[in-house]
Amino acid sequence: MSGQEEAAEALWYVGPGRAEIREERLKPLSDGKVRVRALYSAISRGTEALIAAGRVPAAEYQRMRGPYMAGTFPFPVKYGYQTVGVVEVGPDDLAGRNVFVLHPHQTRFDVPAEAVVPIPPDIPLSRAVMAANMETALNATWDASPGPYGRIAVIGAGVVGALVAFICARIDGAEVTLIDIDRSREALAQTLGVGFATPDAAPADRDYVFHTSATAEGLTTALNIAADEASIIEMSWYGSGIVSVPLGGAFHSRRLRLISSQVGKVAPSHRATYSYRQRLEAALALTAHPHLDALLKPAVSFRELPTVLPDILKPRSGVLCQLISYS
């Protein structure tokens, strides 16, 4: 075990649209913990854009605390939850292994040994950073529980929406359409093996509609294209924003079901059989497919983050999953 303090660096959000790299001091490693050196992490654009803007509602401060987050909302906070690294110091069964950890953007850090998930050798480390996003997509799919030959729409072709479409496309006979206002996302849909449409051309009478666009217009589209008695799975998080939802008209007579989905709890359908760790392991295994590389933006250096983050997080940046390199 490491018997002396070591230096590390971490990204902190310090004000609206501003971030900085701060020095951290790692205390001597205690029993039961491992020391991890980061190799890659990724920006979770939806959540981190809201955090960078200071738009976390006060009522959600506690629930929005990420694992190993430091600081307090709204600022300053050390945030993030998509890190891949190598165990530098730890028990024999973990030392030297590449692992995924739900940890903020930081060069080195200490966590309990049970917090690291070894990465299977067939999964590239750069792709493994999407495990947390995949976990969100997997949990939402469990919330909806679509069956074979279902007609499925996913509104919002960001990284989470794309991953939901990817999972649903592997259900026997499923007809999956990815819907987005950006026509350039059609190429991504083709890569993932699903259909594509803009909102004005979205197919109607969908059995399941996943909404991930975080816009009132997207939610309206979801309600409009749902079949009678269909399920609309609301995955968007709006922070402190107030969203208008058209629940008049035929909403009630059509017996539509509006389901909220959030990764903070394992979906009820799997809660009795899957722990949080088992769910994350399942999500990590799903990242093995090479077509998912289409979601990754070429890596930027960790030290560049304070400069490049505003462009990454701005609306319509075109970034899906922004990879960060620590080499």
CA 99/CA 83 separation, integer angstroms? 8
Identify the pLDDT of residue 83: 98
Query: How many other C-beta atoms lie within 10 A of the C-beta of residue 273?
Result: 8
Collapse the DSSP code of 308 into the 3-class scheme (helix H, G, I; strand E, B; otherwise coil) and give the result. Answer: helix
Tell me the C-alpha to C-alpha distance, in Å, between residue 105 and each of 21, 38, 77, 79, 90: 10, 8, 11, 7, 21
pLDDT of residue 2: 54
- The CB density around residue 112, as the number of other CB atoms within 10 Å, is 11
- Which strand (E) or helix (H) includes residue 179? strand 175-179
**pLDDT digit string (tens) for 94-127?**
999 999 999 999 999 999 999 999 999 999 999 9
pLDDT beneath 70: ranges in the chain: 1-3
**Phi and psi (nearest 5°) for 282?**
-65, -40
Domains of the chain: 6-130+287-325 (3.90.180.10), 133-260 (3.40.50.720)
Q: What separation, in Å, do the N-terminal and C-terminal C-alpha atoms of the chain show?
A: 24
Question: How far is it, in rounded angstroms, from Cα 126 to Cα 288?
Answer: 11
121 backbone dihedrals φ, ψ, rounded to 5°: -65, -20
Contact 279, 138 (CB under 8 A): yes
Sheet arrangement for strand 175-179:
195-197, 175-179, 151-155, 206-211, 226-234, 257-260
